[in-house]
Amino acid sequence: MGIKQSKWQDHLKTAQASGLSLVDYAAQQGINVRRLYEARHARARAKAAQARKTSAFARIKLKSGLVVNVEADAHRSRAVATLAMQARLGNGVILIWTHDASTGPVLADLMQTLAALPCSV
């Protein structure tokens, strides 16, 4: 963090500790309130970036209405469900595939592999 950024982060901490709103604190100190808001936003972005780096989990959204085909498998005398799967990565890449639900461990391996892929926003 640079000297200017550190200065605004210090102001932000002092403003929060004072109990005043950022507008009131800025007026009291004779500083630009927009810089305080920018410092708060920068701190939130830094925290979010750190959380993404330290998280071992990938966010997964489930949508209703996914295509599921269930077919009778005459050779194995059981129903086979084929799921239409889609993964939208943080870098904009979209992966689409189908999955035979009877092979559960394969799905877990696939999700672990997807979570380990390097993505940039």
For 6-55, what is each residue's pLDDT tens digit?
888 899 999 989 999 999 999 999 999 999 999 999 888 888 888 777 66
Instruction: Give the contacts of 80 (CB within 8 A, at least 6 positions apart).
Output: 70, 71, 72, 73, 100, 101, 102
User: Is residue 48 domain-shared with residue 88, that is, in the same domain?
Assistant: no
Question: What range defines the domain where residue 83 resides?
Answer: 68-116
Within a domain: 25: yes
User: Is residue 47 domain-shared with residue 90, that is, in the same domain?
Assistant: no
**CA gap 39, 42 in Å, rounded:** 5
**CA gap 79, 70 in Å, rounded:** 6
Within a domain: 63: no
Within a domain: 14: yes
Output the 3-class SS for 91-116: CCCEEEEEEECCCHHHHHHHHHHHHH
Within a domain: 31: yes
Predicted model pTM: 0.42
- pLDDT tens string 61-96: 666 554 545 454 555 555 556 767 777 777 777 777
Q: Is the dihedral of CA 19, 24, 26, 32 positive or negative?
A: positive
Cβ atoms of residues 65 and 44 within 8 Å: no
- Give the three-class secondary structure for 14: helix
